[in-house]
Amino acid sequence: MSREHAQQLITRLKSLKPTLHNKDFLLTWQQSDENLRALLLVAETLENLHIGNVSTRVFDSGLAVSNFRDQSTRTRFSYAKAANLLGLTSCDLDESKSQIAHGETVRETANMISFTTETIGIRDDIFLGHGHQYMKEVSEAVEEGFRENVLAQRPAVINLQCDLDHPTQSMSDLLHLQKEFGSLENLRGKKIAMTWAYSPSYGKPLSVPQAIICLMTRFGMDVTLAHPEGYGLVPETIEKSHAFAKESGGSFTQTDNMAGAFADADIVYPKSWAPFDVMKERTELLKSGNNAGLGDLEKRCLENNKRFVDWQCTEDLMKKTKDEKALYMHCLPADITGVSCETGEVEGSVFKRYRLATYREASHKPFVIAAMMLLTRVEKPADLLASLCENPRNRRPG
């Protein structure tokens, strides 16, 4: 059944003309709707082939380099799995995050790691104004290397989380929503509440809420962004969300009232993040190595967080949602009250009810990353996937 479903997905994929070949995947808002739809279809096809025990090992050799400038277990594993699914070998650059390299160092390193490389996955989400910039520098460097005969091929840069966007997360979330609600089309008119939530830690990146509002507004959803005053996002992402909502026939609303955001919501995504201004200040302190200043900032920020300790996804709040049973989403790990902390983003009983759903939500990520790899590195992805279905090879013995 999974193979048959895969074939149906491939048929739909064949009607699209994605333009990602030999390009990067950096920000969803740089991508056409067609590219995003192709990405979902490829990811879903790969999932079905995986379940149907059909090998998707289309590369005979080649490296998938990763560079995690921030610690990561989940994304590291997702990237390694995606590479493995396609026959690539993942290889971690393990660059110290303490140096923000630029200019010749970036150009040179990007070429040195790319001689037989298909993709470069980068996570760089600590410094506001830097992560996306760094990815663009790497992209330009390998573009030049390919043009100037340094590289036999042009590796694709894949954004595994930057200061602006977290496309592998948001596209996995979108795939989750598509499955939960039956289709992309069914998401039209659904209300999703992307809300800030209290956490006893500080400095969580802004990329998840930014990724969610910029992506979900494109599919006709009614997106509400809720956060306490002072916890704003990067202005560019707010503008994009307004524009996308207008274009798609959805809506984008901002509020500082969590309960209001939950009212009648079909989906809630309560998650902590640091205020934009704090992240800016933190970036300057990190750049100047001002540890005393960082300690002071953390203290102030945690104090401020405490003013909003009631921003928690409780059973009471859930009762305000559509039919009292909105879909709860989280990128994991969540700060769960009474489980991983004293008071956190979500009440224990709420999380418990949706725990397995959040695992399933996360389960799409390796396939989304593999789909990004396939679309950026293969000229005719639909034909290639079709050939995998027609002459299936087992990915594992029975």
Binding of residue 187 to a copy of itself (CB under 8 A): no
Q: Strand 156-162 to strand 222-226: parallel, antiparallel, or no bridges (unpaired)?
A: unpaired
| Minimum CB–partner distance for residue 224 and a copy of itself (Å) | 27
Asked if residue 273 lies in contact with residue 206, where contact means CB atoms within 8 angstroms, the answer is yes
Question: Of all helices (H) and strands (E), which one includes residue 44?
Answer: helix 33-51
Q: How far is CA 61 from CA 13, 64, 320, 395, in A?
A: 26, 10, 53, 16
Determine if 63 is a binding residue for a copy of itself (CB under 8 A): yes
Report in angstroms how near the CB of residue 90 gets to a copy of itself at its nearest.
8
**Segment contacting a copy of itself (CB under 8 A): 61-69, 121-129, 216-224, 294-302?**
61-69
- 248 neighbors 222 (Cβ within 8 angstroms): no
Compute the least distance from the CB of residue 147 to a copy of itself, in Å: 10
CB of 240 to a copy of itself, least distance (A): 30
CB of 101 to a copy of itself, least distance (A): 10
Burial class of 94 by CB neighbour count within 10 A (0 to 12, 13 to 18, 19+):
exposed
To a copy of itself, the closest distance from the beta carbon of 348 in angstroms equals 9
Outline where 162-203 has alpha helix (H).
Answer: 167-181
Residues 66-125 that bind a copy of itself (CB under 8 A): 73-74, 77-78, 80-81, 84-85, 87, 89, 91, 93-95, 103-105, 107-109, 111-113, 115-118
Say which amino acid occupies 120. I
Nearer to a copy of itself, 149 or 289 (CB): 149
Which residues, 6+ apart, have CB-to-CB distance to 275 below 8 Å?
Answer: 230, 231, 232, 301, 304
Q: What's 342's DSSP letter?
A: S
The residue behind tokens 């590195």 is 377
Applying CB under 8 A, the site for a copy of itself has a residue count of 71
Q: How far is Cα 48 from Cα 75, in angstroms, rounded to an integer?
A: 21
CB 100 within 8 A of CB 129: no
CA distance 81 to 90: 9
Q: How far is CA 273 from CA 78, 197, 206, 226, 378, in A?
A: 23, 8, 6, 12, 36
Identify whether 333 is preceded by a cis peptide bond (ω within 30 of 0).
yes
131 vs 366 by CB, closer to a copy of itself: 366
Query: What is the nearest approach in angstroms of a copy of itself to the Cβ of residue 391?
Result: 13
Q: Indicate whether 56 belongs to the interface with a copy of itself (CB under 8 A).
A: yes
Candidate list 98, 229, 342, 397; residue touching a copy of itself; CB under 8 A: 397
Cβ 217 vs Cβ 223: under 8 Å: yes
Q: CA 158 from chain center: how many Å?
A: 11
Should residue 182 be labelled a site residue for a copy of itself when binding is judged by CB under 8 A?
no
Query: Taking CB under 8 A as the rule, does residue 62 contact a copy of itself?
Result: yes
Query: Under the criterion CB under 8 A, does residue 18 sit at the interface with a copy of itself?
Result: no
Nearest CB to a copy of itself, comparing residues 84 and 254: 84
Restricting to residues 277-336, which ones interact with a copy of itself according to CB under 8 A?
332-333, 336
Question: Is 390 near a copy of itself (CB under 8 A)?
Answer: no
Using the rule CB under 8 A, is 55 a contact of a copy of itself? yes
Site residues for a copy of itself, 348-377, by CB under 8 A, read 355-356, 359-360, 362-363, 365-366, 377
Could you tell me the smallest distance in angstroms from the CB atom of residue 345 to a copy of itself? 13
Phi/psi of residue 358, each to 5°?
A: -70, -30
From the list 225-233, 238-246, 270-278, 388-396, the region that binds a copy of itself by CB under 8 A is 388-396
Give the HSE-up count for residue 287: Cα atoms under 13 Å, Cβ half-sphere.
Answer: 12
Least distance from a copy of itself to the Cβ atom of residue 157, Å: 16
Q: Which of residues 139-178 bind a copy of itself (CB under 8 A)?
A: 144-145, 148-153
Among 25, 29, 59, 269, binds a copy of itself (CB under 8 A): 59
Comparing CB distances to a copy of itself, the nearer of 112 and 309 is 112
**Burial zone of 144 (CB within 10 Å; 0-12 exposed, 13-18 middle, 19+ buried):** middle
Count of positions (residues) in the chain: 398
Closest to a copy of itself by CB, 289 or 398 = 398
**CB of 28 vs a copy of itself, minimal distance in Å:** 22
Exactly one of 1, 60, 289, 342 binds a copy of itself (CB under 8 A); which one?
60
